[in-house]
Each structure stands twice: as structure tokens, then as C-alpha cells.
Amino acid sequence: MPPSKTSYVCLPCRAAYKLPHPSREPRADAGRRPCPRCSQPLVHVGSAFAAPPRRDTRAWRVLSVLLHAGVRFHKSCCGGPGYRPRTPREVRERMAHARRTGEPFARALVRPEVP
């Protein structure tokens, strides 16, 4: 059986790569991977990630906010990663809700609906 692969992202290049999972590699620096294009460190985003097109700058900005807040795209036992905002408007609504209520940004960003 081939080794499982997971997704990595380089935000400056707006590129995504499928690479072997870091826990399956014997190297000591398995968790720190450089981007093949710019040599910046890649961000491990999870196996349920679908990259937006490179020219879609709004989607990459939304993805950047999600990743900087600590939101990842790992599969759960019942399917995919759950709800993730796709537009800047959805991100703004959830961030405003988090500021109003004191809810952590990562939890507010994955809410399907804002009360």
C-alpha cells in the first residue's frame, strides 16, 4: 500500500503540494518542508484540503486568515473537515462576532452560521 499523502501550502507562491505525511518519514526535520519554488516553509493544512486556483487572490487571502488563526483541513471520522468560510465577507462576519462575544477566532471562523 502506498504511503498516505497530505496537503501543504505555500502562501507567498499560492501553491499547494501533496506530500507524504510527516509522521511516516524517518527524517528528523520531517515537519519542516521548504517550498520548491521560493524555499519558504510550507504550512501543513491537512488531507481534506482543496486548493483554490492560483489567480483567485480573494480565496487565498481567506485561506491565509484561516491558517494564521490555526484552522486546518483534517478529515474527521464522519467525512470532511466541516464548514470553512470561502469569501472575505464570511470571514469579516465571523471575526466581528468573535470580537463582540469574546469567542476565540479559530472557533468563530468554523461556525456554519453567525448568530
Q: How confident is the model at residue 1 (pLDDT cuts 50, 70, 90)?
A: very low
CA atoms within 13 A on the CB side of 77: 0
Q: Which range of residues forms the domain containing residue 58?
A: 5-109
In a domain, 114, yes or no: no
Q: What is the pLDDT of residue 4?
A: 80
Residue 29: the pLDDT is 54
Domain membership of residue 115 (yes or no) is no
| Domain total of the chain | 1
The pTM assigned to this predicted structure is: 0.83
Compute the CA torsion angle 62, 67, 71, 77 (nearest 10 deg): 100
The DSSP string of 4-53 is PEEEEEETTTTEEEEEE-GGG--STTTT--B-TTT-PBPEEEETT--PPP
The pLDDT tens digits for 35-71 are 999 999 999 998 889 999 999 999 999 999 999 999 9
